[in-house]
Amino acid sequence: MKVFINIPYRMVSKNIKKIMELEVGVEIYTENNLLDDLSLNEVKELGKVLTECGVEATVHAPFMDLSPGGYDRAIKRISIEKIKKSVDVALNIHAKGVVCHPGYDKWRFDGNEQLWLENSIETWHEVLSHAGDHMEVILENIFEETPATFIALFGYFKEKNLYFCFDTGHFNLFSKVDLDEWLIPLKNKIREMHIHDNHGTSDDHLPLGRGTFPFKDLKSFIKNLPEIRFTTEFHEERYAIESIKNLKEFLK
């Protein structure tokens, strides 16, 4: 199973030799303001470098301030345009998919999942149309306490290229239900997992095994999955080697 690392866009080219030595793919984070400054010619050049070096890639869309399922039309429009710009990056570097945050938070939406769902359907219709038939759009759990909003959304897009990225660290922080209640209903939509750990109190992005996430239970589950991508998300360089090593050993 292929291991990827999460890395900001501007750090990819300057670290390409290290990436090759580590034998990992890259999930390239395209933050909000970066997308306003990028030219597609620059993106295409990066795509050439990745192809020549044999480095597989995915893209992570921006998430700060965005609300893809938002009620406010202007905010939702900005959110859609930012995500579509990330899709453009993915298309021009021949990435395998684009990971996005769907943006449901029971506190901001006052528990109104239906309002979020109706607005989300419009958003992902437009994003999927922009992405075309071969680009996967992958939604990641963040603040969701249960998988209910994902189950509803994927039920609507059953035959489309809209998929699920299970994030272990976010589950450990926010989920109010057991691991099986997430993984079993969404099994057929899983395309990627973000692997990092914490102690259930802050989003520490520690190496696998450094916190309290139940990785033994996860390993039993992934044995029955078709091949998916695993991305280790470390936020501090000092954790890079340990994070990659631990994930590769976990997947053996």
DSSP result, 139-188: EE-SS-SSSHHHHHHHHHTTTSSEEEEEEHHHHHHH--S-HHHHHTTTGG
Q: What is the tens place of the pLDDT at every residue in 39-83?
A: 999 999 999 999 999 999 999 999 999 999 999 999 999 999 999
Residues 199/173, Cβ–Cβ less than 8 Å: no
**pLDDT the model gives residue 61:** 98
Q: Is the pTM of this model over 0.95?
A: yes
How far is residue 193's CA from residue 230's CA, in Å, rounded to a whole number?
5
Given a contact cutoff of 8 angstroms between Cβ atoms, the answer to whether 102 and 153 are in contact is yes
The domain ranges of the chain are: 3-250
pLDDT (0 to 100) of residue 218: 98
pLDDT beneath 70, residues of the chain: none
Q: Work out the mean pLDDT of the chain and round it to a whole number.
A: 97
Amino acid at 167: D
Enter the tokens of residue 49: 């470098």
- Write down the CATH superfamily of domain 3-250: Divalent-metal-dependent TIM barrel enzymes (3.20.20.150)
